[in-house]
Chain A
Amino acid sequence: MGIGTALHNKTRELCQSLRWKEWAGYFAVESYGVCHLPEYYAIREQAGIMDISPLYKYEIKGKDASLFMNYVLAKDVTKIKPKQVSYCVWCDEEGKVIDDGTVFCFSSEHYRVTAANPALRWFQENSPGFEVEIEDVSEEIAAISLQGPKSRDILKRITSAPLDELKYFWFTEDKLAQVDVLISRTGYTGDLGYEIWMKVEEAEKCWDKIMEAGKDYGLRPVGLMALDMARVEAGFILIDVDFYSSKHTMTESQKSFPQEISLGWTVSLKKPHFVGKKAIQEQKRQGFKYQLVGIEIDWDDLERAYEEVGLPPSLPHSAWRCMVPIHHKNRQVGYASSGCWSPNLKKYIALATLEAPYAKIGTDLTMEETIEFSRKKIKAKVVKKPFFNPARKTS
């Protein structure tokens, strides 16, 4: 089991359920209360606060920083402006995704990258010849995520940062509780939200200040279970759940091109060489075999299947993460990798990887469901993702 983050003393006091998980070697709260649903509702109705310090963070500095980032990331990094954040993937030489993360641009000579998996070695391996310094600052920078419709109002009470002007996926550097912080309008919930980054020594101070400012707004600490539901609704994929890092797979078939996990938009084939470009180009010519899409499971059909065995319909009360076969007629054409009942949308939704011809919106499919010891096929349909996309996310 892990170690505590810079905010462990705070989260431990609040975690009544004693439900902890391991996240990148750290303790992370699964849910603060015995039921995670109030935390989910906080994200969607008021605001939720979360310790996201376990994220890996790297500083890339030097004359060639932009050239280097443009070489290791699939996206055209030269287009990211100072104070902008960008969601990026990086691939191996075979064009298969290694990891995804956010890139913060301070200047063309200074970037910060967050990652789900350790990436220092990979960055370093690619760096010979580039005038860059790569530093692992994972243990020096703590981060607090504040997500939900009231997040801006809460923050505005405690910082003079120009939050009204701060656009989606941009950041600003300011003071909060007399502490130097970086506030980015980012998050993993698909809602209005901010991530606040500071030195680990000052994390507790910031946490206290935000908690205090949020009292009047129904702010709650939220755990990973609530987050997982929110991110499925937002259509965000998760490494080791919806796709695998090509560095950690057991078989070739577990690896994915970015286009196969709905991240084609983060790949720029127009820019000069980047790691994996040739392979991606070649595969593009041949066509990508898979696509990652959103599916909606048909409520009426689910009810019917339960009724057949004399049971009332049962729904997952938290997000699930397992591989569930998806069929088109009688042939398996893919699998769902995570899903949940969306209390907000009142829909049963899932993220699924399908053979490309079956990934069109509206395609009729079936998803397996085990009911009373036997496998049933429940009608499902390819739908647009994100499932939930409130205007406040970007407004």
Chain B
Amino acid sequence: MAEKYDVAIIGAGHNGLIAAYYLAKAGKKVVVFEKKENVGGRCVTEEITEGFRSSVCLDDISLFSKKVFQDLGLKNKGISAATDPLAISLLPGKALIQWRSPQKFAQEIATFSEKDAKEYPKYHEFMDKVAKNLGIACAKTPPDILNLPHSDLVDLGKYWLKLRKMGKRDMLEFLRAASMSARDFLDEWFESDALKGLLAAKALMGNALGPYSPGTAATLFLQHILSYHSASLGHPQGGMGKLSEALEQAGQTYKVEVRKENEVQEILIEEGVVKGVLLQDGTEIHSQVVASSLDPKTTFLKLCSPPKVSLKLRNLVKNVKSQGVSTKINLALKELPHIALVQGAEKEALLSARYFIAPSLEYLEKAFDATKYGRYSENPVIQFILPSFIDPSLAPKNKHVLSITAQCTPFRLREGSWAEHQDKFADIVLEKLGVFLPNLKDIIEHRQVLSPSDLEANFSLNEGHIYHLDHTMDQLFLMRPIPGSAQYRTPLDNLYLCGAGTHPAGMVNGLAGHNAAQKILKDWKG
């Protein structure tokens, strides 16, 4: 007899674990299957070389949902509090420091543009207004426009009222702006390349998009909305794996069973109805519901037997934009790197910030251009943090780890493979960083380079996309990942999606797991 559960979740990433928590809390018997020996998915802390540990894949939880954080009682789990400043953009001879307070940030902006310094607080206020009013949509299942049940109609009505509450002028401005490119939108507000470059870089990270791409202003809104409703966390003590452990522990309270080193080989489907999962070792697990926290392509195209999935669905999924463009580089350093532009009384605070090399919109766009032609950028957009500065336990005494995410590096290279190119690309990144971190080259003990190809292999990310799919207008909200599956429920009965490829977005906010669980529970009641 096959084992029976109420819900079987595929993948113990943060979304899988969060969904499991809510479902188990509601009394469901939940099992989570994880291929690797540790939970976390993209949020893991692993050794990069002896004595050095780092958040080897994602390293940012600044957008983690406040609601989920509170619901799961993560407050006392040693996950760090907010850092200030939020971000620092490194520019030739100068740095732009984004402090948490918009007013303080405006003072920094003033050294670049007096005009922008005056505009920024207004911009921030406008973005806050959007976030305040529309943020609610992120923690709920998007309405099902095609069928529009009564409850969804009510939700739509609520969203409309929220929009109206912004006031006619701001509402129209939002509706107009959401479909614009990030450049067009930011150009209307600001003149400083440095400011626009930093704002766009933060929003576009992980996506195969340039700031001139249509609809990219939406990523600015998305980032701001998630940030507004976030728990304002800095890099966790103990790395990203610490967060995942805390999520696993939270689930244990309600008897969530996490089965590690148990890879799901196939989702069992009979006549369009999902019956459970088949594990790699041949074990069949039956469940009322299967929820996949894996990306939609892996879920529908690799885990389902293709003849059992309609052609229409397979083609919709196949055409989803999911080419990863990020490369992760983790460095083990002999000593604290010297960041030339960081000095003075606030040095400590500054060193815990997230750094960007994204001097202008044009720079971002040119980095993206390479992607279009299947090449990696010679002038990559780079962000990095020094996790060991916040948490010295990650490296041996007085030594450090540097966590770098660089793009654009398309998964599909026109010529050659990533195995051939990744070291060349890492050299380019280190060369760029060397301009601002002059002693960097001399203090590297070890480097770990994870190309999109490695990210795919190591973290089950289809095409190495760190957020499963691009945050484009046609792949957000009602359409994420595809029309007909945006309500977490899929065209295959009893199969749900609960990962980064669903509403609201990737970027480690935990809301996909939260929302999917609510949807499953709602459907369960009927």
B-binding residues in A (CB < 8 A):
64, 67-68, 70-71, 93, 125-126, 128-130, 272-275
A381 to B393, CA, bound (A): 93
Chain A residues, Cβ within 8 Å of B318: 128-129
Complex partner residue of B317 from A93, A126, A128, A272, CB under 8 angstroms: A128
State whether B315 touches A273 (Cβ < 8 A).
no
Chain A residues, Cβ within 8 Å of B309: 129
A144 to B218, CA, bound (A): 60
A79 to B300, CA, bound (A): 28
Chain B residues, Cβ within 8 Å of A126: 311
Smallest CB separation, B115 vs chain A (Å): 51
A-binding residues in B (CB < 8 A):
300-302, 304-309, 311, 314-315, 317-318
State whether A71 touches B315 (Cβ < 8 A).
no
Smallest CB separation, B205 vs chain A (Å): 28
With A128-B314, A128-B315, A128-B317: A273-B307 Cβ-Cβ less than 8 Å: yes
Smallest CB separation, A219 vs chain B (Å): 46
State whether B311 touches A93 (Cβ < 8 A).
yes
Chain B residues, Cβ within 8 Å of A273: 307-308
With A128-B317, A128-B318, A129-B301: A67-B311 Cβ-Cβ less than 8 Å: no
**17 pairs, A vs B, C-beta closer than 8 Å:** A67-B305, A67-B307, A70-B307, A71-B306, A71-B307, A126-B311, A128-B306, A129-B300, A129-B301, A129-B304, A129-B305, A129-B309, A129-B314, A129-B318, A130-B306, A272-B307, A274-B307
Chain A contact surface mostly: loop
With A128-B317, A129-B301: A275-B308 Cβ-Cβ less than 8 Å: no
A159 to B317, CA, bound (A): 50
For the complex of A and B, 6 pairs with smallest distance between CB atoms: A129-B306, A128-B318, A128-B314, A129-B301, A71-B307, A273-B307
State whether B315 touches A67 (Cβ < 8 A).
no
Interface contacts beyond A67-B307, A71-B306: sample of 14 additional A-B pairs, CB < 8 Å, sorted by A: A67-B305, A125-B311, A128-B315, A128-B317, A128-B318, A129-B301, A129-B302, A129-B304, A129-B305, A129-B306, A129-B309, A129-B318, A273-B308, A275-B311
Chain B contact surface mostly: helix
Smallest CB separation, B278 vs chain A (Å): 16
State whether A125 touches B307 (Cβ < 8 A).
no
A144 to B506, CA, bound (A): 57
A278 to B36, CA, bound (A): 40
Chain A residues, Cβ within 8 Å of B302: 129
A70 to B305, CA, bound (A): 13
A135 to B257, CA, bound (A): 45
Chain B residues, Cβ within 8 Å of A70: 307
Chain B residues, Cβ within 8 Å of A130: 306
A130 to B318, CA, bound (A): 11
A93 to B312, CA, bound (A): 11
Q: Closest residue of chain A to B300, judged by CB?
A: A129
A71 to B306, CA, bound (A): 9
Q: Closest residue of chain A to B303, judged by CB?
A: A129
A128 to B311, CA, bound (A): 8
Chain B residues, Cβ within 8 Å of A129: 300-302, 304-306, 309, 314, 318
Chain A residues, Cβ within 8 Å of B311: 93, 125-126, 275
Smallest CB separation, A138 vs chain B (Å): 24
Smallest CB separation, A383 vs chain B (Å): 40
A128 to B308, CA, bound (A): 12
State whether A128 touches B307 (Cβ < 8 A).
no
Chain B residues, Cβ within 8 Å of A274: 307
Q: Closest residue of chain A to B317, judged by CB?
A: A128
A68 to B305, CA, bound (A): 10
Q: Closest residue of chain A to B315, judged by CB?
A: A128
A372 to B315, CA, bound (A): 57
A70 to B314, CA, bound (A): 17
Smallest CB separation, A169 vs chain B (Å): 26
Q: Closest residue of chain B to A275, judged by CB?
A: B311
Smallest CB separation, A90 vs chain B (Å): 13
Q: Closest residue of chain A to B312, judged by CB?
A: A93
Smallest CB separation, B320 vs chain A (Å): 11
A68 to B306, CA, bound (A): 8
A89 to B187, CA, bound (A): 58
Smallest CB separation, A278 vs chain B (Å): 11
A274 to B305, CA, bound (A): 12
A71 to B302, CA, bound (A): 16
Chain B residues, Cβ within 8 Å of A272: 307
Chain B residues, Cβ within 8 Å of A71: 306-307
Chain B residues, Cβ within 8 Å of A128: 301, 306, 314-315, 317-318
Chain B residues, Cβ within 8 Å of A67: 305-307
